[in-house]
Amino acid sequence: MTGREFPKVYLKFEGRLLINGKKRQYWIQDATEDMFDELEDLSVNKFIGDEPTTRYMKMYDDPISLEEIRVIWRKFIDLKLTLVCLTKDDENKTKIVAFNVLYLSNADDKTNYDLRGETSQRLFRMFKWLENQRNFFEEFNIQCVMKSRGLYVLEDYRREALGERLLEAREYMCRHLGITATLTTFTSFVSQKLAARLGFQDFYSVEYEELGRIDPGMYILFLRIKM
């Protein structure tokens, strides 16, 4: 990534919704250091409550795990690979409305986290198990891939296709960096549908209930209520 243009704007686009008679203007770019603290807070205080695995594992009830995840997320953000979707608020101030925390993973990467929290241990055991089911690097004969540690859109800015635009911008970012593939664990039906629509290949999938049968420690409880 020597000589990388930073920060780089990857997309500029107009929103779908009419707000006070006009549509919002958005752009997606590299997150800069002045945004890192806010991104850390949004990841912990917003994303964890919405993301299915952390939500149903009740990570907010496990302060040790919560702090461990905060530290790990900040390390990813500090890599300067996070994408942010920005717009102007009513006072013409730039506002973060969506983001995608990204990082590069190499074929020989053996990173292990010394985790003490029960929830964080369960979460990373699940992701490690998923990644061990097939060897992405060998099957595609590549040495480096772009991975994601969370994509989030603020509630007031949903229905504007910002998640779709972030995934599109990720592709442009990969091209800019010379990365030929991106790999993500999509954990919700919404993100899975979006990924399929944008042409992501289903490399490996498993039902949450099946995870529980394989390893009760990875089990995530979903309640289905008939109205």
Map out the domains of the chain as residue ranges: 9-107+115-218
Average pLDDT over the chain reads: 90
Q: Is the pLDDT of residue 219 over 70?
A: no
Q: Is the pLDDT of residue 222 over 80?
A: no
Token pair recorded at residue 98: 């969506």
Q: Average pLDDT in the 81-110 region?
A: 94
Q: Is the pLDDT of residue 161 over 90?
A: yes
Nearest Cα residue to 101 out of 69, 79, 68, 129: 79
Give the model's pLDDT for residue 61.
95
Q: Average pLDDT in the 199-213 region?
A: 86
Q: Which residue in the block uniquely carries the two structure tokens 């990534």?
A: 1
The answer for residues whose C-beta is within 8 angstroms of residue 125's C-beta and 6 or more apart is: 215, 217, 218
- Write the DSSP symbol of residue 45: I
Q: Is the pLDDT of residue 107 over 70?
A: yes
Give the model's pLDDT for residue 180.
94
Give the model's pLDDT for residue 174.
96
Q: What ranges in the chain are assigned the alpha helix state H?
A: 36-42, 48-50, 52-56, 63-77, 118-131, 136-140, 162-177, 189-197, 208-214
118 burial (CB, 10 Å; 0-12 / 13-18 / 19+) is middle
Radius of gyration over every alpha carbon of the chain, rounded to an integer in angstroms: 18
- How many other CB atoms are found less than 10 A from the CB of residue 173? 23
Q: Which residue in the block uniquely carries the two structure tokens 């954990």?
A: 187
- More reliable by pLDDT, 169 or 110: 169
What CA–CA distance (Å, rounded) separates 11 from 81? 15
Pairing of strands 83-88, 94-106: antiparallel
Q: Are 9 and 28 in contact (CB under 8 A)?
A: yes
Model confidence pTM above 0.85: yes
Q: Domain 9-107+115-218: give its CATH code.
A: 3.40.630.30
- How many other CB atoms are found less than 10 A from the CB of residue 76? 19
Cα–chain-centroid distance for residue 138? 24
- More reliable by pLDDT, 111 or 195: 195
Token pair recorded at residue 26: 């958005």
Nearest Cα residue to 182 out of 191, 172, 197, 194: 172
